[in-house]
Amino acid sequence: MRIALISLDQAWENKEKNIERCSILAHKARDHGADLVIFPEMTLTGFSMNISNTAEDRKNSTSVEFFRELALNFGIAVLFGVVFLDAGKATNDAIFIDKEGNLIGQYSKIHPFSYAGEDKFFNGGSQISSVNLGAITMGLTICYDLRFPEIYTALRECSVIVNIANWPAKRIAHWNVLLRARAIENQVFIVGVNRIGIDSKGLEYLKSTQVVTPNGDKLISEKIEPELDIFKIEPNYVNEYRGSFPTIQDRKPAIYKNFL
């Protein structure tokens, strides 16, 4: 499977400009044979707390409709981030749409980033989520979730787990280490999709989008341009690797829960 990862230089709270750029990049991804294109967290707005400007009606979302049309027009599956209104606050969501335009997966970020005040404006989700795309079962997570290994353990039956993010440069060492740790401890492919550029608060974001193998190695991408990389993932590799080095079978969840 060929997966296009978009390190989008997001225009702050500017959906129209981001829509234009996403369309161009998705077109290029399709032309290079990608089966799936993945965008960063809060794709069309950047990581904004201004929910009065960014949040949409879950049942009537202009962002969902745009990406649905994009998937249909290009014949490519799409994973993106969007903000939905929710009980006086909002939720920070990842949406998965297949190449036929069907919404087949939705995940609300379980861990709002309280350090930045995200919890004041966003409700945390309460369910893990995964989707099936061909031979791949793919788990969905968002940014700060990466610091909580339990959610990745809960998604251990997946062969690929994705994290879409707005992870700033000043903590990029954590991003790199945690992506690799989540891959090694769960023996899965971990896909991290992070934005680039500088946001309206002056936070810098470095090119750090990557795919880590179950063995903790970084895959080499086919670099199309600074915002677009394509990776090839072999679905059978996870089962082969787990069979050759079976550590997951030695977990003791019945014991762990007594201490958590």
Coil vs helix vs strand at 31: helix
CB of 121 closer than 8 Å to CB of 89: yes
Q: Among residues 15, 56, 109, 118, which one is catalytic?
A: 109
In angstroms, how far is the first alpha carbon of the chain from the final one? 37
* C-alpha closest to that of 185 among 103, 235, 248, 132: 248
Torsion sign, CA atoms 28, 34, 36, 40: negative
Q: What are the residue ranges of helices labelled H in the chain?
A: 15-31, 51-54, 62-74, 118-121, 149-154, 172-186, 236-244, 253-256
CB of 141 closer than 8 Å to CB of 151: yes
CB of 83 closer than 8 Å to CB of 50: no
CB of 166 closer than 8 Å to CB of 17: no
Q: Is 143 a catalytic residue?
A: yes
Residue 25: both structure tokens together? 């990049």
Distance CA 188, CA 212 (A): 8
Q: Is 232 a catalytic residue?
A: no
Q: Among residues 15, 28, 143, 158, which one is catalytic?
A: 143
Q: Among residues 41, 56, 118, 227, which one is catalytic?
A: 41
* C-alpha closest to that of 235 among 138, 107, 108: 138
Q: Is 109 a catalytic residue?
A: yes
Residue positions annotated with a catalytic role: 41, 109, 143
